[in-house]
Structure 1
Amino acid sequence: MSIGRLRRTVVGHLLWSFLWLKWEESQSLAILLTFMNDRHTVEELQGEIGEQLRAARLRSNLSQADVAKQAGISIGAVKNLECGVGATVKTLVGVVKVLGRVQWILSLQPPVTISPMDMLRASKAKRQRAGKPRKNTGSIV
């Protein structure tokens, strides 16, 4: 294989990997937007999360036992999570980390923003010393 052909093959694989990651991110965004719809019941949302986790596990070519072992949880917990029956936050976070989908959880966190008033307050000169308490003279001017 020539150097040029090898280079084109590597670039092609990198491009496919990039496109696949972008597609998965768009799927995560679509899931998040679906969850924001108030017409879904809690059970429907649990089932959707379970289906997405199962699909991610299968794409990663991992068995339920592999995920359970790496997350430090039982196989039953993974099965319950994938069925949408219920799980603890610890179980959900563990499975999401094993599947390399921490971005799903981070996408639920709103971005930190600084208000313009906070920026203005921070730009003012800071006090260098503490002042003495004022004595109350009792006279009204």
Structure 2
Amino acid sequence: MIDFRLASAAQIQAELGERLRQQRLSRSWTQRDLAMRAGIAVNAVRNLEAGGNATVLSMVKVLQVLSLVHELGEVFKPGVALSIADLERLEQPQTKRARARKS
């Protein structure tokens, strides 16, 4: 397993393709089975698994069929909205106090 924060785009793409492949194989499905269930071309499944270019739509359809679409909810989770008062506090310089000298 790779650390996505340190990986290149190509490495991430390859890792995701391998993970999809493992999910498919864990169900004993062929690429053709997955493609038919997802309503996409077999070449699209091949491209996804090989870390090649594929559409977001193809990825979403495959994730739906594999019952993994819920994982996407964590990807672009909305941030917490800050109030104007919170933003103003963030802009205030933080004061630092010097430590008292020991005698």
Cα drift, residue 113 of structure 1: 4.0
1:56 aligns with 2:23: yes
1:65 aligns with 2:44: no
Match of 2:61 in 1: 94
After superposition, where does 1:1-141 map in structure 2 within 5 Å? 34-35=3-4, 37=5, 39-111=6-78, 113=80, 115=82
Structure 1, unmatched stretches of 5+, are 1-29, 118-141
Cα drift, residue 109 of structure 1: 2.3
Match of 2:97 in 1: none
Partner-residue secondary structure (3-state), 2:76: coil
Q: What residue identity is the alignment partner of 1:43?
A: A
TM-score (norm 1): 0.53
1:111 and 1:44 map into 2 onto residues whose CA distance is 26
Larger radius of gyration: 1
Q: What residue identity is the alignment partner of 2:66?
A: L
Give aligned pairs, total. 84
Cα drift, residue 45 of structure 1: 0.6
State, as a whole percentage, how many aligned pairs show the same letter: 37
Higher RCO, 1 or 2 (CA under 8 Å, sep at least 6)?
2
1:72 and 1:112 map into 2 onto residues whose CA distance is 33
Q: What residue identity is the alignment partner of 1:85?
A: G
Cα drift, residue 115 of structure 1: 4.7
1:66 and 1:47 map into 2 onto residues whose CA distance is 21
Q: Deviations over 1:30-53 (max 9, x none)?
A: 87xx32x1x311111100000000
